[in-house]
């Protein structure tokens, strides 16, 4: 049996299997993933997004934004944010989906957290909760996130992510990259 949920606009959000015995849907998490690349980013960001779509249901994806690297030297990053739905626990998602995608695209983790990379996939928001408060200060995360979910509230300040994005846009070196499309890329 299938259960299809819809948002207020009537758009199909996800299809989940229903436990036949209890008729209750499995626990589905709404998770926002930040995608970033500064090694062959025009190729690697769409490839990572396509691989992500093979493992989880993707409801929304932002446009692609270009930014200089934060806290380091190196080539500019291309960044995006995707809203996904999965019944995987966070550690399962990280180790069974995100890390393998990074490895498939050539990511090698080193002690230097700011080294250039073909892809970086980070969990930033889970079921309405921000994972790391630094998200509120990073234009390369805030602006794409605001593009797809601007009403998310900062519990400490009461600001929406859209308000934060507007403020950060004036101070950040960031530009939209309409030439890099994530929605239709095929591997």
Taking only the tens place, the pLDDT of each residue in 134-157 is 889 999 999 999 999 999 998 888
Alpha-carbon distances of 35 from 21, 152, 169, rounded to whole Å: 38, 19, 19
pLDDT of residue 74: 85
Q: Are 143 and 65 in contact (CB under 8 A)?
A: yes
Residue 184 lies in a domain: no
The pair of structure tokens assigned to 146 is: 């605001």
Q: Which residues pair with 125 in a beta bridge?
A: 32, 130
Between 116 and 25, the more confident residue is 116
CA dihedral 82, 146, 173, 73 (to 10 degrees): -40
Q: Does the residue 54 lie in any domain?
A: yes
CA distance 63 to 48: 14
Q: Give the total number of structural domains in the chain.
A: 1
Whether pLDDT at 13 is above 80: no
Determine, yes or no, domain membership for 121.
Answer: yes
Chain-centre distance for alpha carbon 134: 15
Proportion of the chain above pLDDT 90, given as a percent = 64
- Taking only the tens place, the pLDDT of each residue in 49-73 is 999 999 999 999 999 999 998 877 8
User: Helices marked H in the chain — which ranges?
Assistant: 41-55, 90-92, 99-104, 139-149, 161-171
Domain residues for the domain of 78 are 2-176
Q: Would you say residue 145 lies in a domain?
A: yes
182 lies in some domain: no
- Of residues 186 and 7, the one with the higher pLDDT is 186
We report the CATH number of the domain holding residue 121 as 3.30.70.560
Q: At what angle do helices 139-149 and 161-171 cross, to 10 degrees?
A: 140
Task: Encode pLDDT of 102-122 as tens digits.
Answer: 999 998 887 767 788 999 999
pLDDT at position 26 is 67
Residue appearing with tokens 């499995």: 26
Residue among 44, 5, 45, 42 nearest 27 (CA) = 5
CA geometry: angle at 95 spanning 99 and 124, to 5°? Answer: 75
Look-up of token digits 């509230």:
153
The reply to whether 181 falls in a domain is no
186 compared with 3, residue with greater pLDDT: 186
Any domain includes 62:
yes
In a domain, 185, yes or no: no
């Amino acid at each position: 049996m299938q259960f299809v949920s819809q948002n207020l606009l009537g758009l199909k959000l996800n299809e989940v299997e229903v436990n036949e015995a209890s008729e209750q849907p499995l626990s589905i998490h709404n998770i926002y993933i930040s995608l970033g690349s500064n090694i062959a980013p025009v190729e690697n960001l769409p490839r990572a997004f396509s691989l992500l779509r093979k493992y989880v249901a993707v409801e929304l994806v932002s446009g692609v934004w270009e930014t200089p690297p934060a806290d380091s030297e190196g080539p500019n990053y291309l960044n995006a944010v995707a809203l996904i739905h999965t019944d995987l626990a966070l550690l399962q998602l990280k180790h069974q989906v995100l890390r393998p995608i990074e490895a498939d695209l050539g990511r090698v983790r080193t002690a230097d957290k700011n080294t250039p990379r073909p892809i970086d996939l980070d969990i930033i928001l889970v079921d309405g909760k921000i994972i790391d408060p630094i998200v509120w200060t990073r234009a390369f995360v805030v602006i794409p996130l605001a593009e797809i979910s601007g009403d998310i509230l900062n519990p400490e300040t009461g600001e929406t992510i859209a308000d934060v994005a507007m403020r950060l846009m004036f101070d950040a070196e960031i530009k939209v990259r309409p030439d890099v499309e994530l929605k239709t890329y095929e591997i």
